Structure 1
Amino acid sequence: MENTRVTYKIIIAGIGPGNPDYMVPLARKAIEGAKALVGGRRALAQYAAGGAAAGQHTMAVTRDIEAVMAFIHEEIREHDVVVMVSGDPGYYSLLDAVKREFPPEYLDVIPGISAMQLAFARLAIPWHDARLVSFHGRQPEREKILYQAGAIIGMLTDAKFTSRTIPPILMECGWSGEARLHICTRLSYDDENIVTIRLREAENYPEAKNGILIVEE
């Protein structure tokens, strides 16, 4: 598509950590006016404007990314396509896949508030010097989580790498069992929960999955 004149855009809109109050107005405006809307099933249920009955075409994001890209290719011939992604598009989102499929001139990215950003805000911890890594579906390289004096690491977690399984990995990388571990789950929702324990206490503390962990001295 490199030689095609760009008539319509793919708008990658960050929808924040979950609660609609944390979505930036520009993203909300793009979603409300979308003729073609892509997103996770939960996001579509929350934000789609009545689907086909309202003249809006929708596509749920599943493991079949090829189908999602085919939908975007088809829809962009007629109008802009809005792609909703959780948190911020620049941080582990569908933006990677879209960039591999379409040249940059097709893309408009609207940033959002990530769960990682909200976790640091809740704890009033500046994050300009923090190392941010993902244990979501992967394990970071050892050097990225090695202990250093004064270090702070923010971590995405999943069902395998959790508040119980990650601490031993960190201690093997030089972190003291006395380091503080902030366990942040369901951020922005009514049942949001944030607790702070010592790293060594994690094995005896209720396991938290699919959240944010922050470790600091």
Structure 2
Amino acid sequence: MEHRIIVAGIGPGNPDFILPAARAAVEGAQVLVGGSRALADFARHGQETMTIRGDIAAVLAFIKEKLQKTHVVVMVSGDPGYYSLLDALRREFLPQMLVVIPGISSLQMAFARLALPWHEARLASFHGRVPQPEEISYKEGALLGLLTDRTNNSRTIPLRLMELDWPPSAELHICSRLSYEDEQIIHTTLGEASAAPEISHGILVVKA
């Protein structure tokens, strides 16, 4: 039988939030690929591992080599379907070689913490990219869920939104370290964001 790549979403970070199917795949893996934090949390003695860093081509080459002998489990944070290594895997391997186990995304976690339904929210990422204006433009009653990074953070993004006609009074919820013991959620407004701590690599929820 042809070996498969099992892409396992491991949730927002805290191991309590990984789905049982993903945990079983990770624990049963002979070859395990993931970020350094994920490997520190989940790798077991005897597993062959590779750390995902900046060289994605090297990671893909490692996976291709190991597939000749066994299945390979690739851990991705959050849910594999939202800005993860799954894109690169689909470009390199046929879809039928991939088995994807979903996970709880940081965006899901943020909306859950705020007790906010998110079926009408627009989701966008400022993590290593900048959304097009139409993705994040103001509309009455709008709700946004946004990924951030070091450059596009809890202070710079509110300025960008106000340039796109979002009112300074719009609610801003700055979420960081979700699911961990030091989780923090700051409730403020776009206009007051500059007075709040600067948070990168988190989630912003903006409500008109």
TM-score (normalised: structure 1): 0.94
Q: Secondary structure at the match of 1:200?
A: coil
Letter in 2 for 1:214: V
Partner of 2:28: 33
Which of 2, 15, 18 aligns to 1:20? It is: 15
Which of 88, 93, 104 aligns to 2:95? It is: 104
Letter in 2 for 1:84: M
After superposition, what is the alpha-carbon deviation per residue over 1:68-121, rounded to whole angstroms, capped at 9, x for unaligned?
011111111111100000000001100000000000110000000001100000
Question: Kindly, what percent of the aligned residue pairs are identical?
Answer: 60
Aligned-pair distance for 1:138?
Answer: 1.0
Letter in 2 for 1:19: N
Partner of 1:113: 104
Partner of 1:173: 164
Partner of 1:3: none
Partner of 2:174: 183
Partner of 1:87: 78
1:207 aligns with 2:202: no
Aligned-pair distance for 1:153?
Answer: 0.6
Partner of 2:119: 128
Structure 2: distance between partners of 1:97 and 1:117? 23
Q: State the number of aligned residues.
A: 208
Q: How does 1:120-159 map to 2 (within 5 A)?
A: 120-159=111-150
Aligned-pair distance for 1:195?
Answer: 1.6
Gaps of 5+ in 1: 1-5
RMSD of aligned alpha carbons: 0.8
Aligned-pair distance for 1:203?
Answer: 1.2
Aligned-pair distance for 1:42?
Answer: 1.0
Letter in 2 for 1:45: A
Gaps of 5+ in 2: none
TM-score (normalised: structure 2): 0.98
Moved over 3 A (4+): none
Aligned-pair distance for 1:206?
Answer: 1.3
Structure 2: distance between partners of 1:69 and 1:166? 33
Letter in 1 for 2:181: D
Aligned-pair distance for 1:7?
Answer: 1.1
1:45 aligns with 2:40: yes
